[in-house]
A = this chain, B = another copy of it.
């Protein structure tokens, strides 16, 4: 026996994996999945193309992992909001606002996640993730309807509609258009109003709004610094 993986090596391996993921995320954020070819990822990560296949069985699985990580982060934030003690309408407002705002301000991972054409394997994952988003909203809706805060409705359809609504509203704005903060906030507010009305929540009377905003900020910070 003349070789056994040392602790140092173990670390370097993990490091490599990380660099691949980071490189992919960076490329996707800059130019979508389209720009994240294996050769490019390898170049950015500073390794050879062959290396990538030591860590990921295929490009599709690499993409799925990147997508999953990013979606997971968003889901965590949204879930924190959804699980709060506020009335359903308010939580819904906060969740929509939070998602749209983050998508608008963040790097344009959003475009890739929302609509960019990809191969079917990744697409399947994307649809699954979209459903996950829907489930967060669905939970809020179920709760709201149970407590009589929202009118009875088809929560599955409503949840899907909500995800679709803010998704579509983002597609245009996200692309090359660089809008200023004022425009962005206007869009956020428009989408929020739309969604809230849609499920029969009130749009007026925003008491307690500040408290929830606080929750959002805290959650977001926790997420970013992790």
Seen from chain A, the residues whose Cβ lies within 8 Å of a Cβ on chain B are: 34, 115, 117-120, 123, 127, 130-131, 153-154, 157-158, 160-169, 171-172, 186-187, 189-191, 193-195, 197-200
Q: Is the CB of B171 within 8 A of A127?
A: yes
Q: Is the CB of A34 within 8 A of B166?
A: no
* Contact flag A160-B153 (CB < 8 Å), given A198-B194, A198-B195: no
Residues of B within 8 Å of A118, CB to CB, are 117
A165 to B137, CA, bound (A): 14
Residues of B within 8 Å of A165, CB to CB, are 160-162, 164-165, 168, 198
Q: Which of these, B168, B197, B199, contacts A164 with CB under 8 Å?
A: B168
- A165 CB to closest chain B CB (Å) equals 4
A168 to B166, CA, bound (A): 10
Q: Which residue of the partner chain B has the closest CB to A164?
A: B168
Q: Is the CB of B130 within 8 A of A168?
A: yes
Q: Which residue of the partner chain B has the closest CB to A161?
A: B165
Q: Which residue of the partner chain B has the closest CB to A172?
A: B160
Q: Which of these, B117, B169, B197, B199, contacts A117 with CB under 8 Å?
A: B117
- Looking at A157, A158, A199, which has the most chain B CB atoms within 10 Å of its CB? A157
Residues of B within 8 Å of A169, CB to CB, are 157, 160-161, 164
**A-B pairs with the 10 shortest C-beta distances?**
A164-B168, A198-B198, A157-B190, A117-B117, A154-B190, A161-B165, A164-B164, A165-B165, A160-B169, A161-B194
A108 to B42, CA, bound (A): 39
- Looking at A166, A167, A197, which has the most chain B CB atoms within 10 Å of its CB? A197
9 additional A-B pairs beyond A117-B123, A154-B186, A158-B194, beta carbons within 8 Å, are A117-B117, A117-B118, A130-B171, A153-B190, A157-B187, A160-B169, A163-B168, A165-B165, A195-B198
Q: Which residue of the partner chain B has the closest CB to A188?
A: B157
